Structure 1
Amino acid sequence: MREDNDVGQVLAEICEAAAALILPLWRSGLTVTHKADESPVTEADKRGEVLILERLAARFPDIPVISEEDASEFGTPDAIGPRFFLVDPLDGTKAFVRGDPNFTVNIGLIQDGRPVAGAVSAPPSGETWYTQMGGVLKRTRGGPSAQVRVRPWPKGEAIALVSHTMKDETIQKLIAEYGFDHREPMDSSIKLCRIAEGSADIYPRHGPTMEWDVAAGHAVLEAAGGTFLTPEGEPFGYGKADAGFRNGWFVARGG
Structure 2
Amino acid sequence: MSALPESLSRDLESGRLTEQLAEIAEEASALILPYWRAGAAVTTKADDSPVTEADQKAEALILERLTALYPGVQTVAEEACAADGTPDAENAFFLIDPLDGTKAFVGEREAFTVNIALAHGERVLAGVISAPAMAQTWRTGGSGDKAGAFSRRFGETAWRQVRVRQKPDRGFALISHSLGEDEAERIASRFGCAEWQALDSSVKFCLIAEGRYDVYPRTGPTCEWDTGAGQAILEAAGGRVITLEQGQPLSYAKPNYLNPGFVALGG
Please tell me whether residue 49 in structure 1 is matched to residue 63 in structure 2: no
Mapped to 2, the partners of 1:172 and 1:51 lie a distance apart of 40
Q: 2:164 aligns with which of 150, 158, 178?
A: 150
Partner of 2:261: 249
CA distance in 2, matches of 1:96, 1:124: 9
Q: Which residue of 2 aligns with 1:81?
A: 90
C-alpha contact 1:162 1:183 (8 A) present in aligned 2? yes
Unaligned runs of 5+ in 1: none
Give the whole-Å Cα distance in 1 for the aligned partners of 2:163 and 2:135.
19
Instruction: Say if 1:31 and 1:238 are closer, same or farther in 2 by CA, change over 3 A.
Output: same
User: Are residues 1:200 and 2:213 paired?
Assistant: yes
Shift of 1:137: 1.0
- Tell me, in whole angstroms, the C-alpha distance in 1 between the residues paired with 2:202 and 2:28: 16
Find out whether 1:24 has 2:40 as its counterpart: no
Q: CA deviation at 1:190?
A: 0.2
- The 8 Å contact of residues 188 and 196 in structure 2, kept in 1 or not, is answered as no
Structure 1 pair 165–112 and aligned structure 2 pair: CA distance change class (3 A): closer
Query: C-alpha displacement at 1:145, in angstroms?
Result: 1.2
1:67-216 → structure 2 map (5 Å cutoff): 67-77=77-87, 79-132=88-141, 133-143=146-156, 144-156=158-170, 158-216=171-229
Aligned residue number for residue 36 of structure 1: 46
* Contact 2:185 2:196 survives alignment (8 Å): no
The 8 Å contact of residues 162 and 186 in structure 1, kept in 2 or not, is answered as yes
Structure 1's consecutive aligned runs of 4 or more residues displaced over 6 angstroms after TM superposition are none
Given that 1:12 and 1:120 are in contact with CA atoms closer than 8 Å, whether structure 2 keeps it comes out as yes
Show CA shifts across 1:204-255 (max 9, x none): 0011101101101111000000000112311211111xx3111100000000
TM-score (norm 1): 0.96
Give the paired residue count. 251
Residues in 1 aligned to 2:103 and 2:168: alpha-carbon distance in whole angstroms: 31
TM score, norm. by length of structure 2: 0.92
Report percent identity of matched pairs: 49
Runs of 5+ unmatched residues, structure 2:
1-6
Measured against aligned partners, the alpha-carbon deviations of 1:47-79 in whole angstroms (never above 9, x if no partner) come to 0000000000000112100000000000001x2
Distance in structure 2 (CA, Å) of the matches to 1:98 and 1:173: 26
Within the alignment, does 1:224 sit opposite 2:237 as a pair? yes
Q: 1:152 is matched by which residue type in structure 2?
A: Q
Counterparts of 2:28 and 2:218, CA distance in 1:
27
Q: What is the identity, as a one-letter code, of the residue corresponding to 2:234? A: L
Give the root-mean-square deviation of aligned CA atoms: 1.0
Indicate if the aligned counterparts of 1:82 and 1:113 stay in contact, CA closer than 8 A.
Answer: no
SS of corresponding position for 2:250:
coil
Q: Which residue of 2 aligns with 1:4?
A: 12
Deviations 1:150-192 (A, max 9, x none): 0111112x11000123123322331342110110110000000
SS in 1 for 2:133: coil
